[in-house]
């Protein structure tokens, strides 16, 4: 089954720097989503980007989608310590179920 | 506004004991409901989903079962827990199939 694979698995940056996480998947999709999970908590939806969209913004978040390369990136600008969390991409399979990747663990040091 | 509740937050159970985890959603009707399990440091594994009352689809063979006795209530059960059932269980709901899901706070289960 298709799966979003995040890269890198872990990322450590200083406050104020930008953080970029990538997601690759295997088969065609209708949409791709990014979620955030603080340690020990549930996931929080960040952005949904549809297959016919190339870029989407939400506050300090910027998501791009390249369907020809089957990849997406999540950029967090001017990161803050509160951005420390795990970030997951999720793609819909042929039946519409979401398949989550293993996540990128982001650490933002003050 | 919509809210999703899960309880208990933490559970420690002996091997072979039964399990019942409950999830309820408020503020919406006829949601799609999902149960996921997350092993430590890993992604989410979809266990069950439901598109309506009494409709349950299972994604992986295991000793867990799910039920949806009411429109906004989703229950995860087991008759006899295994050590491998330990993990973080997340309930989620969505309005549109295949799109945004809203997650509960999760239940951490430790089977000893």
Q: What is the tens place of the pLDDT at every residue in B73-87?
A: 999 999 999 999 999
Output the average pLDDT for chain A.
Answer: 94
- List the single residue in A31, A35, A103 with the smallest CB-CB distance to B99: A31
Q: Which of A28, A42, A47, A88 best probes binding to B when mutated, by most B CB atoms within 10 angstroms?
A: A42
Chain A partners of B92 at a C-beta cutoff of 8 Å? Answer: 42-43
Phi-psi region of B95 (alpha: psi -120 to 50; beta: other; left: phi over 0): alpha
Distances in Å between the Cα of A75 and the Cα atoms of A10, A48, A79, B106 are: 15, 14, 10, 27
Q: For the segment A41-67, what is each residue's pLDDT rounded down to a tens digit? A: 999 999 999 999 999 999 999 999 999
B39: pLDDT confidence band, cut at 50, 70 and 90?
confident
- How far apart are alpha carbons A110 and A20 in whole angstroms? 18
What mean pLDDT comes out for the span B37-59? 91
Q: For the segment A85-100, what is each residue's pLDDT rounded down to a tens digit? A: 999 999 998 888 999 9
- How far apart are alpha carbons B39 and A38 in whole angstroms? 15
The pLDDT value recorded for residue A3 is 67
- How far apart are alpha carbons B67 and A81 in whole angstroms? 40
The pLDDT value recorded for residue A42 is 95
């Amino acid at each position: 089954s298709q799966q979003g694979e995040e890269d890198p698995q872990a990322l450590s940056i200083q406050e104020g720097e930008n953080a970029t996480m990538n997601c690759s998947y295997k088969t065609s999709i209708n949409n791709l989503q990014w979620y955030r999970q603080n340690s020990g908590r549930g996931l929080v939806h960040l952005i949904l980007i549809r297959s016919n969209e190339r870029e989407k913004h939400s506050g300090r978040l910027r998501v791009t989608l390249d369907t020809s390369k089957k990849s997406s990136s999540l950029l967090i600008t001017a990161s803050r310590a509160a951005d420390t969390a795990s970030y997951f991409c999720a793609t819909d399979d042929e039946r519409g179920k979401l398949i989550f990747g293993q996540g990128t663990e982001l650490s933002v040091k003050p | 506004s919509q809210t999703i509740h899960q309880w208990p937050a933490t559970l420690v159970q002996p091997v072979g004991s039964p399990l019942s985890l409950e999830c309820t959603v408020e503020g919406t009707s006829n949601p799609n409901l999902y149960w996921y399990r997350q092993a430590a440091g890993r992604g989410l594994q979809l266990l069950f989903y439901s598109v309506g009352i009494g409709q349950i689809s299972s994604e992986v063979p295991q000793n867990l079962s799910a039920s949806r006795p009411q429109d906004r209530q989703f229950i995860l059960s087991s008759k006899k827990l295994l050590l491998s059932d330990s993990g973080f269980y997340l309930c989620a709901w969505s309005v549109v199939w295949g799109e945004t899901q809203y997650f509960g706070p999760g239940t951490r289960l430790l089977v000893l």
